Amino acid sequence: MKARICVSVSGTSLTQLVGRVEQAERVGADIIEVRLDSLRGRHDLSKLSRAADPPLIATNRPQSEKGSYAGSEGERLKVLEAAVDAGFEYADLESTTETLGKVASALCERGAKVILSQHDYSRTPSQASLKTTLLRLRKHEPDICKIVSTAQFPRDNLTILDFLDHNHASSSMVCFAMGKAGLWSRVLAPFYGSSFTYASLGPGLETAPGQPTLDTLRRIYESLDLE
């Protein structure tokens, strides 16, 4: 199988974001996550959806979820709605979102595929705890359940990958561990059932801890004869 890679891009200006979306397509991204939380001001987001053919994920991460968006919750969600209206195929919605079910339904009605995401920024919970999280996310019937932990130790890679292996058949999932120690979970996630894994455009352009570059992932897969 060929691992699907989502390249995550961020920028403070629309011009910068458009350029990075175009670059992500040129280097072979299967999906492109556009981090809108660093974007300053209001913009015509259709310029982003027209910049590349791969599906786009709109993400507007609040500061409470280690993102950059500092505005109100209502304004944050309006940005996601505007992105969907502009042609983004996916919307990443945090599980901590206020009135989660209502917001998820509204995005679906606009035509978005919803990625319902849960991030643990300090540790990798037990498999029982991860399963409880998955069941909670499933209640909202998202298109993809995204469960991301943080690896403190190498064994955390085994925990998250085993959890993914045993649960992906009943739900479309994206699952791995962040942090330097979690690199191998990012590399191997697609082969354990993750719909895709994430990469950056290049060094210094990471949007999450431990995120490898697309080039690094491709070289690892080629060396393992997985491309």
Does residue 169 contact residue 193 with C-beta atoms inside 8 Å? yes
Q: How many helices (H) and strands (E) does the chain have?
A: 8, 8
DSSP letter (8 states) at residue 194: B
Residue 131 designated active-site = no
Q: What one-character-per-residue DSSP string does 52-106 give?
A: -SS-EEEE--BGGGT--B-S-HHHHHHHHHHHHHTT-SEEEEETT-TTHHHHHHH
Residue 146 designated active-site = yes
Question: Among the options 66, 102, 119, 168, which is catalytic?
Answer: 119
Question: Among the options 146, 166, 168, 180, which is catalytic?
Answer: 146
Burial of 144-176, coded b for 16+ CB within 10 Å and e otherwise, reads: bbbbbbbbeeeebbebbbebbeebbeebbbbbb
Dihedral angle, C-alpha 155, 158, 163, 169, nearest 10 °: 170
Which secondary structure element, helix H or strand E, spans residue 21, and what is its range?
A: helix 14-26
- 213 phi, psi to nearest 5 deg: -80, 160
Cα 225–226–227 angle (5° rounding)?
A: 100
Structure tokens belonging to residue 183: 């690199």
Active site residues: 119, 146
